[in-house]
Amino acid sequence: MAYQVLARKWRPSNFKQLVGQEHVSQSLIHALQHDRLHHAYLFTGTRGVGKTTVARILAKAINCENLIDYNPCGQCRVCRDFEQGRFMDLIEVDAASRTKVEDTRDLLDNVQYAPSQGRYKVYLIDEVHMLSGHSFNALLKTLEEPPAHVKFLLATTDPHKIPVTVLSRCLQYNLKRLLPGQIAAQIQFILKQEDIGFEDQAVKLLARAADGSLRDALSLLDQAIVYGSGSVNLAAVTGMLGTVAQQPIDDILHALAAGDGRGLLAKISDIAELTPDFADILQQILRILHRIAVTQQLPEFVDPEFDRDFIADLAQAFLAEDVQLFYQIGLIGQRDLDMAPDPRSGFEMVMLRMLAFRPQTVDSEAKILPPVRTAAPKPGVAYHQSPPLEQKKTARPGEAKPADWQEIIAALNLVGRARELANNCVLAGMEDDSCQLILDPAFQRIGNKAEDNLRDALQAYYGKAVKLVITQRETAQMTPAIEMRKVQEDRQQAAIDHINNDMTVQALKETFSARILPGSIEPLN
C-alpha cells in the first residue's frame, strides 16, 4: 500500500480521540444523549485544530446504527461506509472552489429528497466564508427551515466574513488552539504506536513550532522522521527547523542580565554563523522571560518544559521590572522585525534597546530607580524648603542680582533640557567667576549640550565669563524640581480633602452609597 501521512492516518474517528477540544466534544455528546440536535452547526478556529474532523465525527455519529457511549461504533455499515468514503448521504463541499450562486443552487436541489443510507442527509461545507453574497442568500432560506432529515455542518477559519443572518441560524463552536503540551503528548503517543525512536526535547521543539495546530505538528513530524533517518532527535529537528540550540539563548539572557553589551553582541555574532531564524530566537527569549516573570511571582511553580534551576537562576539575576520592560520591548520588536534592513540587525537592535532602556543603578546595592527626570524627597533626609514659587520675583534691569537659585533660574529664561537640568540642581556657591551646583543623584545626566546652554545663559545673565561646576551627590537642600513636585502634591491633597469634607459629597455617599473614583480629583488651576 502507498504510504499514508500521519495527519491522515491518525485523524480522530470518534469524540474520545479528539485532542484538546473537550468543550466541543462534551457538548455534542450531550446533544446526542438527549436527542437535542440542532439543524445547523458552525465550527470555527484556526487551521489544523479539528474543525472538519469534528464535523465528520458528528455526521457519522448522528447516522451510526450502534452508538457506543454516544460515540460512533466504527463497526456498523454506516461507519464502514464513512471510513471508505462511500456514504452517499454525506455531501461534503469545499466552498473555496464552489463560490458561485449556481453551485449553491445545484447543491440544494436535492435537499427535499430523503436520505438513501442513513437517518440524516448531511451537508458539510468547509471554508464556508468563501461563499459569495448571492450564495449565502441562496443558502439562507434552506438553512433557516431545512427538512427534518437534513443537517448542515459548516466550518470556517474566518467567521467574521459570514453574514450575521447565517450566524444567527447556527450553533457556533469555537475550537481552541492546542497547547504545546497537548501537541507534544499526542506526538509521543503516535511515535510509540509507530515504534519510532524520539527524544523528548525534539518533540517539545516540534510542538512549539506547530503554533497550536495539531495537523501542522504531524506534518512537521513526518518531515522530521525523514530528516532524521527514521527517528526524531533534537539535532535533526533543530537543523530541519533552522532553530538555535538552547545554550546560545541562555548565554544571551545571562549577558542581558549582566548588562554586558559586548558579550551580547559577540554571542549574536556566533549565532549568525548558523544562519538562524532570528524571529524564532526572539520568540524563545520571550517565552523564557514569561516563565521568569511567573517564577518571580510563584517560586513554587514548576514547568516541565524548562529547566527549573536555569529559570530560578535567571529569576534571581533579573529584577521583576526589568523582565516586564524587556518582554514589552521584545513584543514590539517582534512586530517590527520584518521592517528591519535584515533580520540580524533587527534582532540586535531589539536586544540593544533592552540594554539602553535599562534603569540605572544609584547605589552599591544596585537598586533600580524608575526612569524619571525628577525624584521625590528621600525618607530620612531633612530638606530645606524655599519660599513658595508664587512669591518668587525675577530681577529687573538695574536691580541687584538675586542670590536664590530658583530666582536665578526664572531670570535665565531657560527652556528644554537646560531648564530641566537647572531645576534638578541646588546652588552650592556663587563666586566671581564660578557657579558651583549640586545635582540630584537620582537625576540622569542628559549630555553636555544642556550644561553648555546653562553655562551660556549664566554668562549672558552676569555679563562675564562664568565657570560652571556640577557635582552629583546627596544634599539636604531641596531642588526646585522637588519643590515643584511637593507644591503639586500639596495642592492635589488639598483638593482631595476638600472633596471628602464637602457636605454634599458626604450626603451622596450616605444616601446612595456613592464613592469617589480614584484619580478623578484634580486641583483647579
For residue 393, the model assigns a pLDDT of: 40
pLDDT in tens, 436-493: 899 888 887 766 788 888 888 988 888 888 898 888 888 888 889 888 888 888 888 8
Residue 259 has which C-alpha cell? 548588562
Torsion of CA 55, 56, 62, 68, to 10 degrees: -110
Instruction: Give, in order, the Cα–Cα distances in Å from 74 to each of 6, 429, 516.
Output: 20, 94, 64
pLDDT in tens, 176-188: 988 888 999 999 9
Residue 164 · residue 33 · CB < 8 Å: no
Residue 19 · residue 214 · CB < 8 Å: yes
CA distance linking residue 260 with residue 359, whole number of Å: 14
Q: Which residues pair with 436 in a beta bridge?
A: 429, 469
Residues 6+ apart with CB under 8 A from 299: 312, 315
Strand, helix or coil for residue 156: strand
CA distance linking residue 90 with residue 117, whole number of Å: 10
Residue 522 · residue 492 · CB < 8 Å: yes
Q: Going residue by residue through the chain (525 aa), what tens digit of pLDDT does each one get? A: 578 889 899 999 999 999 989 999 999 999 999 989 999 999 999 889 999 999 999 999 999 988 888 889 888 998 998 888 888 889 888 887 777 788 788 778 888 888 888 899 999 999 899 888 888 888 888 888 888 999 999 999 999 999 999 999 999 999 998 888 899 999 999 999 999 999 988 898 888 888 889 999 999 999 999 988 888 988 888 778 766 556 678 888 888 888 888 888 988 888 887 777 888 889 889 989 999 999 888 887 777 667 777 788 888 888 888 899 999 999 999 888 888 888 889 999 999 999 888 655 444 333 333 443 333 444 444 444 444 333 334 444 444 456 688 888 888 888 778 888 898 999 988 877 889 899 888 887 766 788 888 888 988 888 888 898 888 888 888 889 888 888 888 888 888 888 888 888 888 888 877 888 877 788 876
Residue 159 · residue 44 · CB < 8 Å: yes
pTM of the model: 0.57
- Give me the residue label for grid cell 427534518: 148
Q: Which residues pair with 424 in a beta bridge?
A: none
Q: Which residues pair with 155 in a beta bridge?
A: 43, 126
Strand, helix or coil for residue 33: helix
Domains observed in the chain: 6-174 (3.40.50.300), 180-241 (1.10.8.60), 246-356 (1.20.272.10), 399-477 (3.30.300.150), 491-525 (no CATH)
For residue 54, the model assigns a pLDDT of: 94
Nearest CA-CA partner of 204 in 308, 294, 306:
306
CA distance linking residue 193 with residue 367, whole number of Å: 55
CA distance linking residue 95 with residue 103, whole number of Å: 9
Q: Indicate the burial class of 42 (C-beta count within 10 angstroms; 0-12, 13-18, 19 or more).
A: buried
Instruction: Give, in order, the Cα–Cα distances in Å from 212 to each of 175, 258, 390, 478, 492.
Output: 11, 34, 62, 57, 50
CA distance linking residue 458 with residue 37, whole number of Å: 86
Indicate if the alpha-carbon torsion angle 463, 467, 473, 477 is positive or negative.
Answer: negative
Instruction: Give, in order, the Cα–Cα distances in Å from 86 to each of 53, 78, 80.
Output: 17, 9, 8
CA distance linking residue 10 with residue 186, whole number of Å: 10
For residue 517, the model assigns a pLDDT of: 80
- Give me the residue label for grid cell 440544494: 108
pLDDT in tens, 189-239: 999 999 999 998 889 888 888 888 999 999 999 999 998 888 898 888 877
CA distance linking residue 99 with residue 122, whole number of Å: 19
Residue 319 · residue 257 · CB < 8 Å: no
Q: Which residues pair with 91 in a beta bridge?
A: 123
The secondary element (H helix, E strand) that includes residue 167 is: helix 164-167
Length of the chain: 525
Strand, helix or coil for residue 470: strand
